């Protein structure tokens, strides 16, 4: 056999106090030859999406985790087959600590306890820069004054006795070596009766407890059977922050208008049969997006921004039209630059491209920034109306409801028509009810009779 050996790459702490990261994708496959520092994977931490460079030159022997898996820091994620002698890793002794190369030879395997200590998330402290991941404390209250309850202490007058609850909240008393022993053995000290002075849990207590099998299931069993707890991170965390910021800085007003869009649906059918639109994806969203852009011409106030820092109102003389998109990684609102300059054909292909890119998770940061107004198409979920929250920094957002057949009064008689609800939220700091209402009325007028565009451009 040639002189090769297997080396593992353990997931490192990629950013000052992180406990886990999600594997987004592998850039290599088993059997691939990799060079030192070649990008092998993309992972998402609580702070950033980063690329992992290979620590070795060699061949990929195994990928231990699937894309989409959240991996604890210190767990092996990939194994390499590398030359025994001329390892590109510098040839020095492998360093201890998380993420270092660990040689899994017969006597080189790390002990279970050492691996446990490396992977233990509870030991991380808040980091230097101050915005690192918040560690979830696992049933370990912070240290507080010890409660003396030893027999030798004279009886305390009842009035100043320590409340029962506080005694219960105290961490079980033990010494650090005993705590480590318990952790190594996988024993929860909360359920170990202490026989030492003041209820101190001794080494013997822990060792004796190892044999005790009848642990009440309610205490020792996994706590997660009836609920699943997912750490708040990535896009979810970002979305939450953006929504909170928007909802609590911009006073939102939402207006509704239900319109008869039969004429628009007829127009859509006509355009689909038109040869110039062959190969283009036309939907109610296409027409509604165009209608929003036309309606903005007479109501530009809705295409503006409140600049708190400079105490100025920014009126955009262009429209970067944001479209809310549900992607595998969560909600994103990419926008179409200078959408007001586009023809219906161009707008149609821009919308198709934008949604395809977003669904593939390949939207670039520049496509996500600089939006001036947004549309959210809740109709695709069969929903009629809602009170959308503004994309931060924008003055208005339109929610498009589902198009459905409904009884409608036409020429004083009931008729079955295609009807759609429009919901408009706007920032009342910049947009008054009058301007918002006029915009929504114009939008409704176009969708109920597209010929009305003639009066607006």
Partner 1 sequence: MLTDQAGKGVRHDAPGPEQSAHISLRTGGDLLQLVSPEGERISHPEFDVWVKDVGDEQLCSLYEDMTVIRRIDAEATALQRQGELALWPPLLGQEAAQIGSSRSLRDDDFVFPSYRESGVAYVRGAHLSEIARVWRGNASYGWDPQRINLATPQIIIGSQSLHATGYAMGVQLDGANTAVLAYFGDGATSEGDVNEAMVFAASYQAPVVFFCQNNHWAISEPVRIQSHVQLADRPTGFGIPSMRVDGNDVLAVMAATRVALDRARKGGGPTFIEAVTYRMGPHTTADDPTRYRDPIELEDWAAKDPILRLRKLLEAKGLLTDDVEARVKAKADAVAADLRSSCIGMPDPQPLDVFNHVYSTPNSWIERQKDHYSRYLSSFNQPVEEGAL
- β-pairing, 39-44 vs 58-63, is unpaired
Is residue 55 a contact residue for partner 1 (CB under 8 A)? yes
Closest separation in Å from C-beta 146 to partner 1: 10
Is residue 180 a contact residue for partner 1 (CB under 8 A)? yes
Q: What are the backbone dihedrals phi and psi of residue 450, each rounded to the nearest 5 degrees, phi first?
A: -55, -20
Mention every residue, 6+ apart, whose C-beta is less than 8 A from residue 346.
Answer: none
Residue from 67, 68, 86, 97 in contact with partner 1 (CB under 8 A): 97
Tell me which DSSP letter residue 201 carries. Answer: B
- If the CB atoms of residues 46 and 325 are measured against partner 1, the closer one turns out to be 46
Is 64 marked active-site? no
Mention every residue, 6+ apart, whose C-beta is less than 8 A from residue 342.
Answer: 336, 350
Residue from 32, 81, 98, 170 in contact with partner 1 (CB under 8 A): 98
Helix (H, G, I), strand (E, B) or coil at 53: strand
Specify burial of residue 81 (Cβ count, 10 A radius: 0-12, 13-18, 19+): middle
Q: Which one of 127-135, 227-235, 394-402, 443-451 is the stretch in contact with partner 1 (CB under 8 A)? A: 127-135
Smallest Cα–Cα separation from 194: which of 165, 216, 178, 173?
Answer: 173
- β-pairing, 335-336 vs 312-315, is unpaired
Is residue 120 a contact residue for partner 1 (CB under 8 A)? no
Closest separation in Å from C-beta 303 to partner 1: 20
Is residue 245 a contact residue for partner 1 (CB under 8 A)? no
Q: What are the backbone dihedrals phi and psi of residue 326, each rounded to the nearest 5 degrees, phi first?
A: -85, 120
Residue in this structure with the two tokens 């911009």, named with its chain if needed? 250
Smallest Cα–Cα separation from 135: which of 144, 122, 146, 145?
Answer: 122
Is residue 91 a contact residue for partner 1 (CB under 8 A)? yes
Q: Which residues ranging from 324 to 383 are in contact with partner 1 (CB under 8 A)?
A: 364-366, 369
Instruction: Show the binding pattern over residues 267-306: x = contacts partner 1 (CB under 8 A), - = does not.
Output: ----------------------------------------
Per-residue tokens: 63: 């990928």
Smallest Cα–Cα separation from 323: which of 295, 345, 292?
Answer: 292
Residue from 31, 141, 177, 218 in contact with partner 1 (CB under 8 A): 177
Is residue 111 a contact residue for partner 1 (CB under 8 A)? no
Q: What would you report as the CA-atom Rg of the chain, rounded to the nearest whole angstrom?
A: 31
Is residue 50 a contact residue for partner 1 (CB under 8 A)? yes
Is residue 147 a contact residue for partner 1 (CB under 8 A)? no
Is residue 113 a contact residue for partner 1 (CB under 8 A)? no
Closest separation in Å from C-beta 213 to partner 1: 25
Q: Which one of 11-19, 219-227, 244-252, 350-358 is the stretch in contact with partner 1 (CB under 8 A)? A: 11-19
d(CA 132, CA 129): 7
Residue from 7, 8, 12, 378 in contact with partner 1 (CB under 8 A): 12
Residues involved in catalysis: 428
* Positions that interact with partner 1 (CB under 8 A): 9-16, 37, 47-53, 55, 89-101, 127-129, 132, 175-178, 180, 196-197, 200, 202-204, 238, 309, 364-366, 369
């Amino acid at each position: 056999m040639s002189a090769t050996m297997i080396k593992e790459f353990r997931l490192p702490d990629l950013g000052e106090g992180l406990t886990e990261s999600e594997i987004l994708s592998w850039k290599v496959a088993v059997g691939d030859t990799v060079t030192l520092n070649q990008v092998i994977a993309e992972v998402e931490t609580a702070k950033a999406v980063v690329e992992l460079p290979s620590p070795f030159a060699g061949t990929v022997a195994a990928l231990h985790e699937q894309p989409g898996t959240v991996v604890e820091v210190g767990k092996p994620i990939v194994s390499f087959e590398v030359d025994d002698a001329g390892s590109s890793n510098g040839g020095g002794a492998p360093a201890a600590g998380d993420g270092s190369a660990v040689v899994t030879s017969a006597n080189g395997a790390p002990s279970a306890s050492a691996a446990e200590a490396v992977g233990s998330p509870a030991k991380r402290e808040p980091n230097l820069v101050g915005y690192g991941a918040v560690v979830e404390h696992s049933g370990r209250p912070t240290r507080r004054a010890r409660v003396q309850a030893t027999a030798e202490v004279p009886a305390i007058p009842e009035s100043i006795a320590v409340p029962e609850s506080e005694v219960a909240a105290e961490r079980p008393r033990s010494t650090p070596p005993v705590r480590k022993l318990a952790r190594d053995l996988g024993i929860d000290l909360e359920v170990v009766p202490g026989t030492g002075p003041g209820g101190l849990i001794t080494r013997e207590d822990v060792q004796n407890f190892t044999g005790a099998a009848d642990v009440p299931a309610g205490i020792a069993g996994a706590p997660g059977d009836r609920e699943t707890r997912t750490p708040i991170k990535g896009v979810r965390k970002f979305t939450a922050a953006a929504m909170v910021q928007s909802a609590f800085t911009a006073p939102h007003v939402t207006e509704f208008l239900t319109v008869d869009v039969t004429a628009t649906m007829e127009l859509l059918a006509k355009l689909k049969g038109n040869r110039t639109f062959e190969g283009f994806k036309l939907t109610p969203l296409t027409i509604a997006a165009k209608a929003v852009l036309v309606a903005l011409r007479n109501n530009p106030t809705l295409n503006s921004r409140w600049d708190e820092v400079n105490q100025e109102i920014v009126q955009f003389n262009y429209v970067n039209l944001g479209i809310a998109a549900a992607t595998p990684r969560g909600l994103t609102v990419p926008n179409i630059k200078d959408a007001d300059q586009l023809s219906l054909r161009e707008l149609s292909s821009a919308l198709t491209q934008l949604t395809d890119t977003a669904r593939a998770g390949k939207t670039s940061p520049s496509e996500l920034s600089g939006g001036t107004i947004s549309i959210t198409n809740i109709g695709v979920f069969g929903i009629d109306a809602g009170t959308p929250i503004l994309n931060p920094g924008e003055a208005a957002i339109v929610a498009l409801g589902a198009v459905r057949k409904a009884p409608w009064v036409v020429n004083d008689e009931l008729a079955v028509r295609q009807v759609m609800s429009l919901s408009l939220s706007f920032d009342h700091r910049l947009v008054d009810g009058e301007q918002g209402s006029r915009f929504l009325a114009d939008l409704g007028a176009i969708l109920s009779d597209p010929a009305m565009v003639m009066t607006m451009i």
